[in-house]
Structure 1
Amino acid sequence: MLNTLQFVELLCGYLGCTVLLPALVFYRKVKAFPAAGRFLIYFTIGNFYIINLVQVLELAYLSCRGTLLLFTLVPAGVAAVRIYQIPVGAYGRKLVQELRHFVLREMGFRSFVHHRLREAKRFLCFIGRQLVRLLKEVWPDLVFLAVFLGVLWRVCWPGILNNWGFGASDLPVHNYWINGLIDNKLYIAGIYPMGMHCMLYYLSTVLCIPAYAVLRLFWLIQYSMIAAVLLAFLKGCCKSRFLPWLGATGFVGLNCFNGITYSRFGATLPQEFGMIFILPSLYFVVSFFRAREAELRVGVNRIRCTSTWLLLGFSMSFSLTLSSHFYSTMAAGILCLGIVVGYGYWIWRKEYLGRILLAGILSVLMAILPMVIAFLTGKNLEGSMYWAMSLIGLREYTDLIFRILCLATVAGTVGGAVLVAVGIRQGKITLGDKPVPRPSPVQNGLLHLVEAALLAVLLLAGWHYRSTLLDSFQRLVLPALSKSGILYGMAAALLVGVLLRLFTRGQDGAACLSMLAAGVFWLFLLACGNLGWPVLMDPARACVYTAYMVPVVAVLTLDGVLQLLTPWRLGVLRTGAAWLLTAALLLCAARADLLRGPFGGGGLEMNEAILCTTNILWDNRGQNDKWTIVSANDELRMTEQYGRHEETITFLQNMEHWNPNQEVTIPTDRIYFYIEKKPLNYANGYGGIIPEVSREEAGKPLPANNGINAYNGTDRAVTMSRMYYWAQAFQRLYPYEMKVYFENDRFVCYYLEQNTYRLYNLAIDYGFNRG
């Protein structure tokens, strides 16, 4: 029940600050966009503002719940007042005058309340009209929405209900970094992309939910948003209304992908958080080409126009990938390479290229600026940065490269500001329209030739290495599909893209060809090691992004087929065909038992340990640093903001060579001892069966205190057995003081309360230590 309530609170809080609040503020500005486009705009603005707000406040050492709420609500209110042109001054004067009449008894209390209720009614009516308008726009999709949510619930909800621990071994590290943000210590472990940590810190602080609980539950929100932006992107690019549901539902529910492609979605990790912003950045680029072409057709060539705002959306989305994880930025960059190939006719024209380059530079500057400020003020790089550089053989040059990048960022920022100021002063940069030269027939021919040449070179390279590429793709991403089937699918995407490019609106075909080109780039990235090339991304990570692109290419291809077979005048026929095709494919998948089984949640910590930790925090609220948990290492970061922690292996080692004069004390009022009677197979790293707690296991040598090795495999059974028989012996010595806090057949938590002025000596000869 607590998991459910906290998950609902997190979902409402995340969507409230990233979608609902931007929608209330910017609706008037973006109401001309379709619902999917509006969602991506709101979502990008919300995430970009919250993440950068946290970083700014952290760098200024001003971050707390009050400042976060203040700088969230006040700017939103000011922006809404300006956009909707609300007469705040006139309303304030009217309210003061009515209060004066009320104080002077010239107006009754009921009249004053009636006026306020009438104003609230008008506001609610406005909100209601917008909701009705939205419902009229999306009501045909509600059936597919129900199916999508049902599949998502079937696949993910058991993980929330049944697996309460962390879902990845590096989550304690991320917990530590979020705790650093709580203490106003940005980059506490060194400079690293902190986008996910800033968002989770914001939710934890504003909603008053412990950081470890946010880390435990946010994975489902993260996975849902990955699927939601996939759906919104496809709806923004497809002409068929219902085919995008096939892509999103198939990505979530079909059991056709390799398990490694979605196993990481069961944990709250930066790489997967960064995936949320990949397709929004691609949507803004595709929409930019469409809007820019329409503007140039009618002679609009000014700076402030729709296409410029779309490029700003691209800059924000791309910067968010870089703020979250470098792998996500690489994924977005590969998709941009696909755009270069598919949109070769447009992108090389100066009316497009200059603006795109500026947007790309701006996106990098926005993401890297907080890291640059921290680096220039003395912060070191985090270890993962060196690991990333070691993949390309430049580990020893990491600091030098980052220092050069910092100087380039500062120079680029200052130089860009100077160039803009000079351009405005000389009249080269104006807010008005300027003449748009149309390309000559020769230029048109050259542009078409460049576009075809880029695509041909890429496809020829893919064909040359097809055996290696298809083997990697089949092994890591789609084992259920034969190599010939993969080739036929790619050929179909190529044919549809070319036909759309030649016989319909050119940019629809360009989008399809761009996704196909990006898919080929992904195949090369997957097979780098097999080709003898430098491995830029671990294949176990790259396959996650590759699987994410499969439904994009498939749905765009199907949408292109429907466009080619049904003329635009028969839009109803096209809609009906898409509806029937989507429903038939989903029904066939369900009947053929191709739906994915449940996954997600944490198996790296017992549910009982989470249950005890949650209750200990509740029982000791307001009593910080007056209690200690003795357990394996996971609870260290979960509770370090509230209490103390000591590792089981350290506790046992302190009395390993026991003698009557030895003393071990823990100077807190209350001590809790976590012991697993049926030890956990940590991360399923041991192939056999881990023995239960027993005297035989306790009699084995104590494992070395070397990282997590004492809690891995059969060593965990030895550690827990030693701890269990120590607790039994200590309880015999102090039967009224050593009590059971919680116990079942798998786990027991003992509880000791003591006078801190007369501490218990916890060092005893319990029969298995060397004494």
Structure 2
Amino acid sequence: MKNLYPYVETLKVGAAYAALLYIWPSIVFRKLLCGKGLTFRFLFCSIVQPVLISTAVLGLGLVHLLHFGVVRLLFWGALAAPLLVACCREKRVPVRLPLRALLAGHYGWKLFFCRAADELARRWQRLWQRFRQRYAGKAAEYLVLAGILLFGMAFFLNGAFQDYSFGCFDQYTHYRWTENLLAGDIFTWGVYPEGMHCFLYALHVLFGVKLHSCVLFLAGIHNSTSFLLAAYCLLNALFRSRHTTLLVLTAWLAFDGIGPAALEAFTRMTWTLPQEFGHYLILACPLLLLRYCRERCKPVQWYRDENLLLLAVGIANAVSMHFYVLILAACACVPVVFAYWRELFPPRRMLPPIAAGLYGAELGLLPMLIACAVGFPLEGSLLWGFNTLRGASGDSIRNRIAAAAPKEVHVSLWERLSAPLKGFYENGYVPLFGDYAAWMLLLSLLVPALLLACWYARRRGRLREGALPARTAKGYLILALGCMVFILLFAAPYIGLPELVVIDRTLAITQLLAFGLVAVPVDFLLARASSLRGKPLPRGLMAAGCLCLYLAAYMTDFHQCTYWWLRRYNAAVTVTDQVMNHYQEGEYCIVSMWDEAYQAGSGNHEELLTFLQNTEGPTYSLPAEYIFLYVEKRPLRRGQVHFLTAPGWLAQENYEVFEGLWNQSQCPEIQYTEISEELAEKEIPYDPTIRNNYDDLATRAVLCAKAYAWYQGFLKAYPAETHTYYEDDEFICYVIHQDPNAPLELAQKKGGWA
């Protein structure tokens, strides 16, 4: 069970995720999606569905109707309605006529199932033939893409497969907020974008997936599918050769980032957090704007254009996920506006996307504005974000730079004018690209310069249109400008500009755009080779190119494993999962430290510190039939930065110590101490904040030692009611079976139990 736990739970979360995000909208909106390409279908499902979920959940919460039954009726009813309508149309239901004949007595069960199976097989064959006719030429490309997605899934799920506890403290907070939604309460801790929490709520309520598993495994599934597919669609729209897109995705997954900042960005993508959950929108929004700019149709109202309508919903989705996602999505759209300024310059073409953006932001903000209007306060982290944006936060980079800078420095006018450009290079390109900073800056400037030269030569008639189509040239320009925009976001606080977002969280997208910029010459050569050849390049070339690129990364600069903020042993997670599966709600109580409350629920949990304090009182009992006592024989240092391990083909291990990350350990080694009889005799150092008692290693060791000693005494008094449920070298779980109507006395008297 210990080895199968992460795989079984990942399959559950993955199946529920696919059904909720892709299958449900594909059925409900099948008429709207009929005849659309795969790119539009992906964009529609991944953008519209989270907005529908968050709007429904928050709307029901505002009118105090957020209950499991109402939500299930709403979503499953919306799914059943089109199926019931289809059942009324004989030509669309393959089993209707056999079913009528069966009910009339003309068919037996055997003939009924044979006829129904034959009809279903014929329909499946027609669908398969239609699929082959439409996508047969791209089979090799889709196979390579599937391999990239599986590799990305293995990489992003690697941490959750090794350590079954939450990877960072913020995940505990978001778990609590989602748990409040399950209780029917919205914005319990203040007004905050609840898009991700509503999605987690829907996974749990509609499919019964455990909330702990959703928070633990969803990030690896989501970022290896939605984010990579959004990157694939955007790069396909920018490059001329589809081979180049797969090469860029391979390089992004295989090559290592620069320094600990990039490692943190990739590590955060393995944790289920709101900003990283909305990363795919940063790529989807500029793609939709690009699709609108490339259309030559007559301008219409924004809600009549499918791309602008999706753009509006995408902006609403970004607002509902995290305000940083909205800021980054807007920054990602700037290069598209610059490259297609002539198409957008007429007001009749420019006003529809502006209106779409404004209405989309209004839609995303509407539940939060209503909540503020009825008296909900703002959540604390929003105020911190606003202060960071203004530079008023105590830990903002601009404040730290200002504090470290000399008070009075006299500089010349030239130095004042050149300082921003110098700071942009030294604080943007150099930290991100190291020894390759000068080459990246040269490439960032060279690509727009060459495109300008090609445009001038085409205007003079010295370059034919087919050599470099305007569509491809603008795609290259968007990549170059996009890379510079995100590097500018990274360097902004160092050159006196507002810190729009926490800079370390932008590096995953910055690195993707940087690889795209490097691939511009490759794409041009591949496109020219295909043009000179007179037909597309061999299908196996893309697979060979991706494999060669992966091998080059493996032998030179393969990416490193991510890390985990280790908080509990895996055995504690698997034992809790077994208890939840084998015992009914309210039938058991888990006595442990803080973390199990986020898996079993606070109603089935008793804090170990509270338990030990109460056992020293005059009388104490718990009403549950089964009491499970968790004791760490080797108390671990909670919150240590645990660098993961991985198979050699997936990632390389970290052998360097990163500054700013404290208490580092390398898997399989962890930092822990031992319990002893001497520790059991010590007084418990008490902190009013219960979590702090478990974070301190010395206090944690005293608590575990006292719990172990308490059980030994209780075992002598009640040997028939107690036994060991699970034990290994680090962790042990005891179980006490009692009559809930006559609970055992848990308080230990000075002379022992009576």
Query: How far apart, CA to CA, are the structure 2 residues paired with 1:59 and 1:601?
Result: 36
Q: Pick the aligned partner of 1:679 from 635, 639, 643.
A: 635
2:280 pairs with 1:276 = yes
Please list the CA deviations of residues 529-549 of structure 1 after superposition, one character each: whole Å capped at 9, or x if unmatched. Answer: 323444332233233443343
Q: Pick the aligned partner of 1:711 from 694, 714, 717.
A: 694
SS in 1 for 2:536: helix
Q: Pick the aligned partner of 2:623 from 649, 660, 667.
A: 667
2:741 pairs with 1:764 = no
Query: How far apart, CA to CA, are the structure 1 residues paired with 2:63 and 2:455?
Result: 51
Please list the CA deviations of residues 288-333 of structure 1 after superposition, one character each: whole Å capped at 9, or x if unmatched. Answer: 1001xx22xxxx3444898x11111111222212111111111111
- The CA deviation at 1:565 is 7.4
Partner of 1:252: 253
Partner of 2:658: none
Q: Pick the aligned partner of 2:523 from 559, 577, 580.
A: 559
Please list the CA deviations of residues 164-208 of structure 1 after superposition, one character each: whole Å capped at 9, or x if unmatched. Answer: 111111222211222222222222322211111111121122221
SS in 1 for 2:732: strand
Partner of 1:469: 424
Partner of 1:633: 594
SS in 2 for 1:742: strand
Query: How far apart, CA to CA, are the structure 2 residues paired with 1:541 and 1:704?
Result: 36
Please list the CA deviations of residues 434-486 of structure 1 after superposition, one character each: whole Å capped at 9, or x if unmatched. Answer: xxxxxxxxxxxxxxxxxxxxxxxxxx99985344334444576445x432132
Query: How far apart, CA to CA, are the structure 2 residues paired with 1:356 and 1:66?
Result: 39
Retained in 2: the 8 A contact 1:231–1:244? yes
**TM-score, with length taken from structure 2:** 0.81
Retained in 2: the 8 A contact 1:223–1:265? yes
SS in 1 for 2:703: helix
Query: How far apart, CA to CA, are the structure 1 residues paired with 2:268 and 2:534?
Result: 43
Partner of 2:712: 728
Please list the CA deviations of residues 329-352 of structure 1 after superposition, one character each: whole Å capped at 9, or x if unmatched. Answer: 111111122333333333232132
Q: Pick the aligned partner of 2:726 from 738, 742, 767.
A: 742
Q: Describe the shift of the 1:205–1:265 C-alpha distance in structure 2 as closer, same or farther (beyond 3 A).
A: same
Q: Pick the aligned partner of 1:585 from 549, 552, 560.
A: 549
Counterparts of residues 318-397 of structure 1 (less than 5 Å): 318-393=315-390
Q: Describe the shift of the 1:709–1:731 C-alpha distance in structure 2 as closer, same or farther (beyond 3 A).
A: same
- The CA deviation at 1:358 is 0.8
Q: Describe the shift of the 1:676–1:526 C-alpha distance in structure 2 as closer, same or farther (beyond 3 A).
A: same
Q: Describe the shift of the 1:201–1:601 C-alpha distance in structure 2 as closer, same or farther (beyond 3 A).
A: farther
Please list the CA deviations of residues 224-256 of structure 1 after superposition, one character each: whole Å capped at 9, or x if unmatched. Answer: 122222122212332211111122222222223
Structure 1 segments unaligned to the other structure (5+ residues): 397-459
2:486 pairs with 1:509 = no
Which AA in structure 1 matches 2:368? M
Query: How far apart, CA to CA, are the structure 1 residues paired with 2:201 and 2:536?
Result: 48
Q: Describe the shift of the 1:743–1:27 C-alpha distance in structure 2 as closer, same or farther (beyond 3 A).
A: same
Retained in 1: the 8 A contact 2:257–2:511? no
Please list the CA deviations of residues 587-614 of structure 1 after superposition, one character each: whole Å capped at 9, or x if unmatched. Answer: 3223x14332444677322101101110
Retained in 2: the 8 A contact 1:493–1:557? no
SS in 2 for 1:209: coil
Query: How far apart, CA to CA, are the structure 2 residues paired with 1:574 and 1:113?
Result: 45
Retained in 2: the 8 A contact 1:271–1:324? yes
Partner of 1:55: 58
- The CA deviation at 1:273 is 0.4
Please list the CA deviations of residues 546-577 of structure 1 after superposition, one character each: whole Å capped at 9, or x if unmatched. Answer: 33433344445643554577658845259888
Moved more, 211-220 or 373-382: 373-382
- The CA deviation at 1:33 is 5.4
Retained in 2: the 8 A contact 1:742–1:749? yes
- The CA deviation at 1:53 is 3.5
Between the aligned residues of both structures, percent identity stands at 22
Q: Describe the shift of the 1:680–1:108 C-alpha distance in structure 2 as closer, same or farther (beyond 3 A).
A: closer
Query: How far apart, CA to CA, are the structure 2 residues paired with 1:222 and 1:748?
Result: 34
- The CA deviation at 1:136 is 0.8
Retained in 2: the 8 A contact 1:229–1:279? yes
Moved more, 325-334 or 135-144: 135-144
Partner of 2:437: 483
Q: Describe the shift of the 1:472–1:724 C-alpha distance in structure 2 as closer, same or farther (beyond 3 A).
A: farther
Query: How far apart, CA to CA, are the structure 2 residues paired with 1:16 and 1:463?
Result: 54
SS in 2 for 1:482: helix
- The CA deviation at 1:218 is 1.1
Which AA in structure 1 matches 2:594? N
C-alpha root-mean-square deviation of aligned residues, in Å?
3.7
Retained in 2: the 8 A contact 1:243–1:579? no
- Matched residue pairs, number? 685
2:605 pairs with 1:645 = yes
- The CA deviation at 1:490 is 1.6
Moved more, 568-577 or 318-327: 568-577
Retained in 1: the 8 A contact 2:567–2:638? yes
Q: Describe the shift of the 1:759–1:612 C-alpha distance in structure 2 as closer, same or farther (beyond 3 A).
A: same
Partner of 1:526: 490
Retained in 2: the 8 A contact 1:725–1:766? no
Q: Describe the shift of the 1:724–1:113 C-alpha distance in structure 2 as closer, same or farther (beyond 3 A).
A: closer
Query: How far apart, CA to CA, are the structure 1 residues paired with 2:417 and 2:155?
Result: 35
SS in 1 for 2:558: coil
Query: How far apart, CA to CA, are the structure 2 residues paired with 1:672 and 1:635?
Result: 11
Which AA in structure 2 matches 1:177? W
Retained in 2: the 8 A contact 1:240–1:575? no
Counterparts of residues 116-155 of structure 1 (less than 5 Å): 116-117=116-117, 119-133=119-133, 135-145=135-145, 147-149=147-149, 151-152=151-152, 155=155
- The CA deviation at 1:355 is 0.4
Q: Pick the aligned partner of 2:266 from 262, 265, 275.
A: 262
Q: Pick the aligned partner of 1:17 from 16, 20, 29.
A: 20
Moved more, 719-728 or 27-36: 27-36
Partner of 1:423: none
Partner of 1:426: none
Query: How far apart, CA to CA, are the structure 1 residues paired with 2:359 and 2:521?
Result: 33
SS in 1 for 2:269: helix
Query: How far apart, CA to CA, are the structure 1 residues paired with 2:238 and 2:334?
Result: 18
Q: Describe the shift of the 1:129–1:26 C-alpha distance in structure 2 as closer, same or farther (beyond 3 A).
A: farther
Retained in 1: the 8 A contact 2:12–2:209? no
Retained in 2: the 8 A contact 1:155–1:253? no
Retained in 2: the 8 A contact 1:729–1:766? no
Which AA in structure 1 matches 2:331? I
Q: Describe the shift of the 1:606–1:100 C-alpha distance in structure 2 as closer, same or farther (beyond 3 A).
A: closer
**TM-score, with length taken from structure 1:** 0.79
SS in 1 for 2:9: helix
Query: How far apart, CA to CA, are the structure 2 residues paired with 1:101 and 1:574?
Result: 53
Partner of 1:603: 566
Retained in 2: the 8 A contact 1:216–1:601? no
Please list the CA deviations of residues 120-142 of structure 1 after superposition, one character each: whole Å capped at 9, or x if unmatched. Answer: 34543343234434551421214
Partner of 1:240: 241
Which AA in structure 2 matches 1:726? W
Moved more, 92-101 or 201-210: 92-101
Structure 2 segments unaligned to the other structure (5+ residues): 394-414, 459-467, 641-661, 666-670
2:496 pairs with 1:537 = no
- The CA deviation at 1:359 is 0.6
Retained in 2: the 8 A contact 1:631–1:675? yes
Retained in 2: the 8 A contact 1:151–1:253? no
Which AA in structure 1 matches 2:723? K
Q: Describe the shift of the 1:107–1:550 C-alpha distance in structure 2 as closer, same or farther (beyond 3 A).
A: same
Q: Describe the shift of the 1:134–1:741 C-alpha distance in structure 2 as closer, same or farther (beyond 3 A).
A: farther
Q: Describe the shift of the 1:581–1:750 C-alpha distance in structure 2 as closer, same or farther (beyond 3 A).
A: closer
SS in 2 for 1:649: helix
Retained in 2: the 8 A contact 1:266–1:601? no
Which AA in structure 2 matches 1:712? D
Which AA in structure 1 matches 2:598? R
